[in-house]
């Protein structure tokens, strides 16, 4: 009787994650302090310039926009609304409506001024971006090829360019407005990818970068992977309003922190790609992504043996975080309690691991106070990180440190915690409870 009650309580805990408003994080018992952007260095300094995004801001000022005769209202460096011409701006001056001290009114203005082939951040390394209001779209504005955003670029490639690198002493920061106390999903600032964009957050080559109190999702309601597909995405024009991955990384990604985030609803992976150093996730919830939760296999086959790119000197820290319902496709908007429309595994055209790795790679793994729940296949699969490549730049081959502490997995259709022959370390205080995935309607089973 006691075991049944415990199982039922655990089931309720996982379901509560999907409440849409004022949801407390599943891991609020974390003793970790609110995010401050501090690195391990004791000489962390205040970032250089702060850039602001808010709904009552204005268009981005550039001389090119002025020369084209389009509005160029704000400098993006003041936390203030756009002052109409003739009114008084935040500095007490009379506004002429051009290059005013006010925030941008669109997240994309940070790296796109809507002129042809412009694709470069206005921020510099070590700057801070503060995102107010939202939600903020990433990608094309509509489903036509002649879009005002990413002029000269395809809809798939209409994500942010590489984030300007910070330094050990001064990180580049992208923060939701409630980052100092971001204890609920309702506190996060939402950015969402659409119209076929490859990723909502491109973190390729991100170095000494912090992202905090941000929800990364999509507003799509279609499915890319899985068969039979009840609701396929239209990938040619007119394109469906969906994205592929939540966050992309590569071997140039290191000293990246993800804090107080919700990464969910993407048709492919929540996070995808190898890493090139330390990547730390704290209080990050990764849920209902159509292929996998966090997949270190980029699928390129570039390792020479048909496998994905190997991580280089990687160290993955996953603390007080959750990965669940990988292989399942999210509804938008939610119409059911779980917000799920269909789930698929490898046997029917998808994948479904909570965490996946390509064979022939090796990196350090530390998981603490985290959960892996109701994934269509394995919960935490580090089993393919079984042998690191040798040669210059690969100092972590041979023995791959691996620890899982105070963590548990249940309800996964595959295995719970998997490790390879070269992983060394300990896996104490785990829960391997194998509970059945709750009954799902048609097209929701592997």
Per-residue pLDDT reduced to its tens digit, 357-392: 887 778 899 999 999 999 999 999 987 665 544 443
Nearest partner of 446 among 362, 279, 328, 359, judged by Cα: 328
Long-range CB contacts for residues 99-102, cutoff 8 Å, separation at least 24:
99/61, 99/72, 99/73, 99/74, 99/75, 100/58, 100/61, 100/73, 100/74, 100/75, 101/74, 101/75, 101/77, 102/57, 102/58, 102/73, 102/74, 102/75, 102/76, 102/78
Q: Which one has a higher pLDDT value, 33 or 96?
A: 96
Which pLDDT does position 426 carry in this prediction? 53
Q: Are strands 254-264 and 278-287 parallel, antiparallel or unpaired?
A: parallel
pLDDT tens per residue, range 100-126: 999 999 999 999 999 998 899 999 999
> What's the rounded mean pLDDT across residues 249-277?
97
Residue 34 pLDDT class (50, 70, 90 cuts): low
pLDDT at 423: 52
Residue 322 above 80 pLDDT? yes
- Tell me which of 417 and 301 has the higher pLDDT: 417
- pLDDT over 50 (residue 437): no
How many CB atoms within 10 Å of residue 174? 27
Across the range 136-159, mean pLDDT stands at 92
- Residue 94, pLDDT above cutoff 80: yes
Pick from 255, 260, 187: which is nearest to 33 by CA? 260
User: How far is the first Cα of the chain from the last one, in angstroms, to the nearest whole number?
Assistant: 30
- Pairing state between β 340-343 and 328-330: antiparallel
User: d(Cα 288, Cα 57) in Å, to the nearest integer?
Assistant: 33
- How large is the greatest C-alpha to C-alpha distance in the chain, in angstroms? 75
Q: pTM for this structure?
A: 0.86
Whether omega for the bond prior to residue 298 falls within 30 degrees of 0, making it cis, is no
Confidence band for 146, pLDDT divided at 50, 70 and 90? confident
- The pLDDT mean for the chain works out to 84
Write down all domains in the chain, each with its CATH number in brackets: 2-49+123-431 (2.160.20), 55-116 (no CATH)
């Amino acid at each position: 009787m006691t075991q049944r009650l415990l199982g039922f309580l655990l089931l309720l805990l996982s379901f509560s994650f999907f409440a849409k408003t004022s949801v407390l994080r599943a891991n609020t018992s974390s003793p970790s302090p609110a995010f401050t952007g501090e690195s391990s260095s004791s000489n962390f300094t205040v970032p250089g310039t702060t850039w602001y995004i808010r709904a009552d801001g204005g268009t981005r000022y550039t001389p090119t926009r002025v020369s084209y005769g389009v509005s160029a209202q704000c400098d993006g460096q003041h936390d203030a609304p756009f002052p109409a011409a003739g009114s008084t701006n935040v500095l007490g001056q009379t506004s002429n409506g051009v290059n005013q001290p006010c925030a941008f009114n669109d997240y994309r203005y940070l790296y796109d001024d809507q002129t042809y082939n412009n694709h470069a951040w206005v921020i510099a390394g070590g700057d801070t971006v503060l995102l107010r209001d939202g939600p903020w779209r990433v990608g094309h504005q509509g489903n036509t090829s002649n879009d005002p955003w990413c002029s000269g670029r395809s809809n798939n490639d209409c994500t942010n360019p590489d984030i300007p690198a910070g330094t050990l002493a001064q990180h580049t920061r992208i923060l939701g407005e409630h980052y100092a106390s971001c204890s609920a999903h309702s506190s996060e600032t939402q950015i969402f990818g659409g119209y076929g964009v490859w990723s909502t957050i491109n973190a390729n080559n991100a170095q000494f970068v912090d992202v905090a109190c941000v929800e990364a999702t999509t507003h799509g309601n279609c499915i890319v992977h899985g068969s039979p597909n009840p609701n396929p995405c239209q990938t040619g024009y007119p394109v469906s309003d969906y994205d592929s991955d939540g966050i992309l990384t590569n071997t140039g990604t290191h000293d990246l922190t993800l804090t107080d985030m919700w990464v969910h609803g993407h048709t492919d992976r929540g996070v995808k790609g190898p890493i090139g150093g330390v990547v730390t996730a704290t209080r990050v919830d990764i849920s209902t992504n159509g292929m996998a939760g966090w997949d270190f296999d980029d699928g390129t086959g570039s390792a020479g043996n048909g496998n994905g790119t190997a991580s280089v000197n990687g160290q993955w820290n996953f603390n007080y975080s959750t990965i669940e319902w990988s292989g399942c496709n999210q509804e938008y908007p939610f119409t059911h309690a779980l917000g799920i429309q269909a789930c698929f595994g490898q046997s029917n055209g998808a994948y479904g691991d909570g965490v996946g790795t390509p064979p022939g790679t090796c990196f350090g793994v530390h998981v603490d106070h985290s959960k892996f729940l109701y994934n269509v296949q394995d919960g935490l699969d580090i089993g393919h990180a079984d042998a690191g490549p040798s040669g210059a730049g690969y100092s972590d081959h041979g023995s791959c440190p691996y620890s899982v502490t105070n963590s548990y997995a249940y309800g996964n259709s595959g295995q719970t915690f998997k490790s390879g022959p070269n992983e060394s370390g300990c896996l104490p205080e785990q829960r391997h409870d194998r509970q059945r995935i709750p009954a799902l309607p048609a097209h929701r089973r592997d």
